[in-house]
């Protein structure tokens, strides 16, 4: 097969951003031996011209190579495909061309990274939508493998989070080494992603092990996240593995501690409890259908995104009183 000159190879690993929750010293000896070439040398010796064209977005060269006989699913030693490269570099046109040529949308590297995961890492909404439209799985079959939803939450790519959830990703999907997506979003202080997850039905108290997202947000001293979690019904009396409540982790005298103390001092309102119960009964997969129900817009807004304490909740209470009058 003809060779196309390879220009300016970047020796940084194309699996950048992958965080399996291990440190170098904690990896089992067998895995270190297996992955050594990946983490220390980059495994670039067998990278094809098709990989290079996909990475750099050179559509004409990519189509020429495919016509000349290069296979769309050609692999490097660590099973990186040209589709992986195109998604990591946000090359939408190249992704479309590779899919037309039969690229495997769910191909995985030897450490479980999929093209969809690379879209989450780069924040490429266009590439992600193409993959999902062509059958990309939102979750892998093994919870210890990299998760596209967790990666999008970690990076703060809220549009990717929206898209994954719209295509059926579980907002409570638990990765054994990471916990829930909501935990990851709180850990990296990605409030927009937290809001999307909660709006789409993520359970507010599911974090990593016995540590709730509220514990994580309090430890990060993020008053904005703590306020959001409390609005969605987070229980400030839950205790972590050290038997500490969220308020015990907040910075003394700060706004986060103030919010938690205020919440502890007053019972949760009936409006909040009703909203939590109704959303739980409806279930995450059906929350998106709320607007299609024959309900007053005010009630739909309240159930969808108007937590108690907001103007919508107060108006709802007044409207309910008016409706009771003859």
Q: Is 152 exposed, middle or buried (0-12, 13-18, 19+ CB in 10 A)?
A: buried
Predicted pLDDT at 274 = 83
Q: Where are the domains of the chain?
A: 1-137, 281-326
Q: What is the pLDDT of residue 254?
A: 95
Q: Is residue 113 within 8 Å of residue 15, measured between CB atoms?
A: yes
Prediction pTM value: 0.77
CA distance 292 to 36: 53
**For position 273, what pLDDT does the model report?**
77
CA torsion 195→250→23→17, rounded to 10°?
Answer: 30
CATH architecture of 1-137: Alpha Horseshoe (1.25)
Residue 276 φ/ψ, nearest 5 degrees:
-60, -45
Q: Extract the tokens encoding 39.
A: 């983490």
Q: Residue 272's pLDDT is what?
A: 76
- Predicted local confidence at residue 209, as pLDDT: 92
Q: What is the pLDDT of residue 326?
A: 33
| Strand partners for 144 | none
Please state, in angstroms and rounded to a whole number, the distance separating the CA atoms of residues 17 and 191: 20
So what's the pLDDT on residue 11?
35
- Between the CA of residue 159 and those of 53, 116, 164, 186, 272, what are the distances in Å? 27, 14, 9, 17, 27
Q: Are 183 and 208 in contact (CB under 8 A)?
A: yes
Note the pLDDT tens digit of each residue in 186-237: 999 999 999 999 988 899 999 999 999 999 999 999 999 999 999 888 999 9
Burial class of residue 289, CB neighbours in 10 A (0-12, 13-18, 19+): exposed
Strand partners, 175: 179
pLDDT of residue 1: 44
Low-confidence spans in the chain with pLDDT less than 70: 1-45, 143, 305-326
- Give the pLDDT score at 154: 96
Which pLDDT score, from 0 to 100, does residue 45 have?
60
């Amino acid at each position: 097969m003809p060779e196309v000159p390879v220009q300016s190879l970047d020796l940084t690993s194309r699996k950048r951003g992958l965080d399996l929750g291990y440190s170098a010293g904690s990896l089992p000896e067998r895995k270190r031996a297996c992955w050594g070439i990946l983490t220390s040398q980059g495994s670039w010796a067998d990278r094809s011209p098709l990989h290079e064209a996909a990475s750099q977005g050179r559509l004409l060269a990519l189509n020429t190579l495919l016509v000349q006989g290069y296979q769309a699913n050609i692999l490097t030693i660590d099973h990186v495909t040209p589709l992986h490269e195109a998604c990591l570099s946000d090359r939408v046109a190249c992704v479309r061309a590779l899919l037309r040529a039969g690229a495997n949308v769910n191909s995985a590297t030897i450490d479980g990274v999929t093209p969809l995961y690379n879209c989450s890492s780069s924040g490429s909404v266009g590439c992600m939508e193409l993959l999902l439209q062509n059958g990309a799985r939102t979750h892998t079959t093994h919870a210890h493998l990299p998760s596209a939803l967790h990666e999008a939450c970690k990076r703060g790519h809220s549009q990717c989070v929206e898209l994954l959830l719209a295509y059926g990703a579980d907002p409570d999907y638990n990765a054994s080494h990471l916990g829930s997506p909501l935990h990851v979003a709180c850990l990296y202080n990605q409030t927009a992603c937290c809001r999307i997850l909660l709006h789409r039905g993520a359970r507010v108290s599911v974090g990593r092990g016995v540590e709730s997202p509220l514990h994580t947000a309090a430890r990060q001293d993020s008053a904005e996240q703590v306020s959001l979690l409390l609005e969605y019904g987070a229980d400030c009396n839950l205790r972590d593995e050290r038997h500490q409540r969220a308020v015990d982790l907040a910075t003394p005298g700060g706004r986060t501690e103030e919010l938690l103390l205020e919440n502890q001092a007053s019972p949760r309102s009936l409006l909040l409890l009703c909203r939590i119960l109704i959303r739980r009964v409806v279930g995450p997969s059906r929350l998106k259908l709320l607007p299609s129900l024959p309900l007053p817009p005010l009630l739909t807004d309240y159930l969808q995104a108007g937590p108690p304490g907001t103007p919508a909740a107060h108006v709802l209470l007044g409207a309910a009183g008016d409706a009771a009058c003859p």
